[in-house]
């Protein structure tokens, strides 16, 4: 017999992502609708260890679906990787009557959830990260808003780059993954897209491409560089020295993480939040909610964390061929 859950805790962890509030709202309201109590844990695992825990009612999430960031705040909590703190976290959940927990975050946050699950707290993960780097799911909450924010910013850089006939390197986020760079590279019509998964660090090839494009009459040369490669400023200096073309580097940074979530992020977050609560109500534990072939599904966290994801060779190829 699966144990009945009475009180559901919810926290956001790792980097924030637009749509996390929509997920929190869905968890709170679905849980209350199903007759459960809800506790919000502020500042991720840090807040759990510090017992920064609040009671939440349906009205506490009013007027939040359209807001970026996370009303529960978030944090990185390195000590939660240690067993002693994981045990302390599980004890604190028990002390506050939290017998089901929803963790909104990325792979790192799921690893923490997995530990709590093994310590007797029924735990469900919801993929929330702008990076799209969670293997078990086609979609992660925040990605759509982030790529649209980045795309609009890159369009603006492109305008000034064309006016000055410059080369521009624009660095986008993504940690070790190149999904934001690939999507913006294609959507912004970049001349070069540098992804950690694909880049061979052959800068001479990049330089030759810039020179060849200029000879063909291109007025600008946009390079989208992924954070996982980085070093955009020094790369710009080397390109300017080798090509004689004025080259500027722009690092978009944290602006990509903020802003009002897109419709896709609000919708996905709302369904995933409700789905997570329904899994807990069915007595499920150690699961992560995912989108697979357009359907909402769930996987065992151990299985999810062992999955691998890769950048599509075809999409990367398309990005290259469209830049001729």
52 is an active site residue: no
Separation CA 116–CA 63 (nearest Å): 31
Count of residues engaged in binding ligand F6P, rule: CB under 6 A: 9
Distance in Å, CB of 111 to ligand ADP, minimum: 3
| 173 interface partner picked from ligand ADP, ligand F6P, none, CB below 5 to 8 A per type | ligand F6P
Task: Pick from 67, 175, 238, 264 the residue near ligand F6P by CB under 6 A.
Answer: 175
**Quick check: 109 binds ligand F6P (CB under 6 A)?**
no
How long, in residues, is the chain? 324
Query: Which stretch in 86-94, 170-178, 209-217, 263-271 sits in contact with ligand F6P by CB under 6 A?
Result: 170-178
C-alpha count within 13 angstroms, C-beta hemisphere, residue 32: 15
**Pick 131 or 191: Cβ nearer ligand F6P:** 131
Distances 187 to 88, 160, 193, 293 between C-alpha atoms, Å:
46, 18, 11, 23
Which of 131, 133, 192, 298 is flagged as catalytic?
131
**Quick check: 196 binds ligand ADP (CB under 6 A)?**
no
**Binding to ligand ADP, residues 118-137 (CB under 6 A):** 129
Task: Pick from 220, 257, 266, 287 the residue near ligand F6P by CB under 6 A.
Answer: 257
- Adjacency order of strands within the sheet including 247-251: 192-194, 221-226, 167-172, 247-251
Query: Which pair of tokens denotes residue 38?
Result: 């809800």
Cβ–Cβ under 8 Å, residues 219 and 250:
no
Query: Which stretch in 33-41, 109-117, 218-226, 316-324 sits in contact with ligand ADP by CB under 6 A?
Result: 109-117
In DSSP terms, 223 is beta-bridged to 169, 192
Task: Pick from 34, 37, 76, 96 the residue near ligand ADP by CB under 6 A.
Answer: 76
**Quick check: 171 binds ligand F6P (CB under 6 A)?**
no
Query: Which pair of tokens denotes residue 241?
Result: 């020295």
Distance in Å, CB of 115 to ligand F6P, minimum: 20
Task: Write out the DSSP string of 113-142.
Answer: HHHHHHTT-EEEEEEB-TT---TT-S--BT
DSSP-assigned letter for residue 294: T
Separation CA 166–CA 158 (nearest Å): 9
Give the footprint of ligand ADP on this chain (CB under 6 A). 13-15, 45, 76-78, 80-81, 105-109, 111-112, 115, 129
Interface contacts to ligand F6P, rule CB under 6 A: 15, 129-131, 173-175, 227, 257
Q: Which residues are catalytic?
A: 131
């Amino acid at each position: 017999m699966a144990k009945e859950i009475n009180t559901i805790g919810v926290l956001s962890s790792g980097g924030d992502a637009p749509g996390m509030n929509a997920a929190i709202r869905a968890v709170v309201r679905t849980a209350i609708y199903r007759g459960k109590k809800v506790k919000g844990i502020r500042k991720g695992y840090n807040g759990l260890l510090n017992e920064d825990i609040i009671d939440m009612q349906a009205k506490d999430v009013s007027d939040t679906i359209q807001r970026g960031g996370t009303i529960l705040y978030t944090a990185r909590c390195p000590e939660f990787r240690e067993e002693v703190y994981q045990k302390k976290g599980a004890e604190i959940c028990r002390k506050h009557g939290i017998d089901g927990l929803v963790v909104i975050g990325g792979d790192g946050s799921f690893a923490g959830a997995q530990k709590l699950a093994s310590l007797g707290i029924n735990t469900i993960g919801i993929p929330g990260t702008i990076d799209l780097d969670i293997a078990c799911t086609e979609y992660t909450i925040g990605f759509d808003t982030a790529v649209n924010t980045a795309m609009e910013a890159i369009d603006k850089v492109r305008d000034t780059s064309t006016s000055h006939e410059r080369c521009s390197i624009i660095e986008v986020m993504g940690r070790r993954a190149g999904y934001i760079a690939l999507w913006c590279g294609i959507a912004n019509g970049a001349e070069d897209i540098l992804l950690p998964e694909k880049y061979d660090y052959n800068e001479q090839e990049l330089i030759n491409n810039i020179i060849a494009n200029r000879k063909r009459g291109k007025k600008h040369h946009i390079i989208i560089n992924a954070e996982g490669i980085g070093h955009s400023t020094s790369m710009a200096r080397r390109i300017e020295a080798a090509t004689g073309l004025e080259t500027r580097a722009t690092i978009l940074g944290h602006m990509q993480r903020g802003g009002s979530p897109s419709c896709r992020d609000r919708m996905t977050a709302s369904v995933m939040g409700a789905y997570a609560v329904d899994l807990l109500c069915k007595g499920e534990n150690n699961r992560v909610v995912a989108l697979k072939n357009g359907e909402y599904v769930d996987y065992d966290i151990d299985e999810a964390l062992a999955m691998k994801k890769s950048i599509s060779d075809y999409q990367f190829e398309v990005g290259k061929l469209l830049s001729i």
